[in-house]
Amino acid sequence: MKPSDVYAMPALDSNPWWLAPDMMLVEVFGMREWDIWEKVREGGAKADRVRFERKMSHIVDDEGRDASVYALTLDGKPFGVYVGQHGGDHPYGEFFHTDASAWRDAKSIASQWRSRPKFGSGLSIDGFIPGLEYLPGAGIVRDGDGYRMVDGQFTDNYENMLFDDRLFQKAYAAFYERHQDRPRSEPLLADPAIRREAAEAIRAAVPEGVRAVLVDDWYDYPLDDGGREWIAVVVGTARGAYYITLPEARFEDGPFAWSRNFKCARRDGVWILDNLAERYADRQPAYQPKP
């Protein structure tokens, strides 16, 4: 993903620089929120010339942590990109300027409130933004001609999506319709036939171009709580094989809670897909995606 891609996106919201998260203030302008709050309100329109526009955002967990990508602008012209995660105990942020002159002007406007200097790294407008693959809890993937943010576990950290939550919502809706009349207390996935349907719904959410093998089997090693781990599907890119799994303990959560609790993690090299495809060959034809 390039800064030009970020700049081309519509803004989710736009705010003056002095309302930026504290980590962004440090990375871009070298100051803390408490260093500027009382004085910046006196800056008026001058302070508003420098703004940050949120372009993409993803809620990481229930504790309020979010990962976001921002464009920094001066008088409406973008001069840099900021990527970061805010909330929680370990915030993260990095800034890269694409227009050093505009960045210096923006810092000059803010300098009357700055307590110490902090210099961002330079970056060509068509250079790739480093660090995006390490954005905690979220991943950025190609989506048609653009990009979007997804849960970090569903990418291979090289802009390849392993599992598309939007496709899964469609497949899960069909699954839900077939079984919505079952008692909520019933451990639905204890039924092998229905578990196979759940694996099919997960398989249907694997994006085109990503190889997938429907497994619907149990992992050989027990979990820490002594239970087993169900492997629904194994997917692969050039970066390795990723197992989409669900702990057996979650089967007791009722018919539908499983859809919010499966995980995707890299375990083997991509070579394992050939072995799995041969081992579970009888399960594949009925579950291949439409071309």
Q: Is 84 helix (H, G, I), strand (E, B) or coil?
A: strand
Residue pLDDT, tens place only, 56-111: 988 877 666 788 999 999 999 999 999 988 766 667 789 999 999 999 998 888 77
pTM listed for this prediction = 0.62
What stretch of H or E contains 201?
Answer: helix 192-203
- Do 144 and 9 fall within a single domain? yes
- Do 182 and 279 fall within a single domain? yes
- Do 17 and 109 fall within a single domain? yes
232 closest CA partner among 253, 256, 209, 248: 248
93 falls within a domain: yes
Give the per-residue pLDDT at 99: 95
Give the per-residue pLDDT at 232: 92
Boundary residue ending a domain (104, 133, 154): 154
99 falls within a domain: yes
| Mean predicted confidence (pLDDT) in 173-199 | 81
- Do 115 and 181 fall within a single domain? no
Would the pLDDT of 289 be above 50? no
- Do 145 and 170 fall within a single domain? no
How many CA atoms lie less than 13 Å away from 152 in the CB half-sphere? 15
82 falls within a domain: yes
Residue pLDDT, tens place only, 240-273: 999 999 888 776 655 566 777 888 888 888 889 9
Would the pLDDT of 37 be above 70? no
- Do 92 and 175 fall within a single domain? no
Q: Which range marks the domain in which residue 74 is found?
A: 3-154
- Do 135 and 229 fall within a single domain? no
Boundary residue ending a domain (154, 174, 204): 154
- Do 21 and 78 fall within a single domain? yes
Contact 207, 164 (CB under 8 A): yes
Boundary residue ending a domain (135, 154, 173): 154
Q: How many domains does the chain have?
A: 2
Confidence grade of residue 13 (pLDDT, cut at 50, 70, 90): very high
